[in-house]
Structure 1
């Protein structure tokens, strides 16, 4: 019985360590058109930042909608809708992917507001960065 408690404690300690921010652009989707190969890349990088730190279900929904608006604003409203559908299906925190919601934290991680300690980790790891707009 005590082994189970120790294992649970060890898991909870490890689960609270945020990895440095990384972005793969638009994941398994093009970063732009053939003519403009990085047309909506900045939109995806901002979206990746949100996905890296994770948060609540509502945070994810807001991030996904912001991605749609950003891509539509660069002149690609149809692509924006396609991307929205893709991230809503493929970005679940329950899938063990490198682009899941909260991918900066060890898997598995559910939806949930960041704790003050987790917010501090986000701040420390992004202090040398400028958050993508």
Structure 2
């Protein structure tokens, strides 16, 4: 009985301790960010996609994020390429791969597909506010 109580407490502490890492992006992971004429042509599409993958969530949200990436790249006149990119992220971005670009990569490994709790949504909001403050500070220093 005592061992069971210790296991339950350990699981509870581990579950409560899941902390969202700060947002990171590498643009179009393992793929060019643009073409030979514009080296960053679809990079913004990939950064938006990275944001969705960083915060993770339910499987339907991943499907939506992948569709948004495809549409964003297609809207730039790269329809054929957009489908290749969509297939690539669908094949390589599962939350079960121990990669830096997996679905929910901001959370500890093996979170899988699940809706964000209110607490997790709060962490996402806090991290985005922190990122915005950092960018504002950086841009002020650049001017």
TM-score, structure 2 normalization: 0.85
For residues 50-90 of structure 1, the C-alpha deviation after alignment (integer angstroms, 9 at most, x for no partner) is 00000111000000000000000111111100000000010
Which of residues 37, 43, 67 in structure 2 aligns to 1:35? 37
* Aligned partner of residue 66 in structure 2, secondary structure: helix
Matched, 1:4 2:7: yes
- In structure 1, distance between residues paired with 2:13 and 2:122: 21
Work out the number of aligned pairs and report it. Answer: 129
| SS of aligned partner of 1:59 | helix
Equivalent residue, structure 2, for 1:76: 78
Q: Aligned-pair RMSD on alpha carbons? A: 1.3
Name the structure 2 match of 1:24: 26
Greater relative CO (CA pairs within 8 A, separation 6+): 1
Counterpart secondary structure, 2:94: coil
Task: Pick from 118, 125, 128 the counterpart of residue 126 of structure 1.
Answer: 128
Q: Determine which structure has the larger helix proportion and give its number.
A: 2
- The runs of at least 4 consecutive aligned structure 1 residues that moved more than 6 Å come to none
Larger Rg: 2
1:108 corresponding residue in structure 2: 110
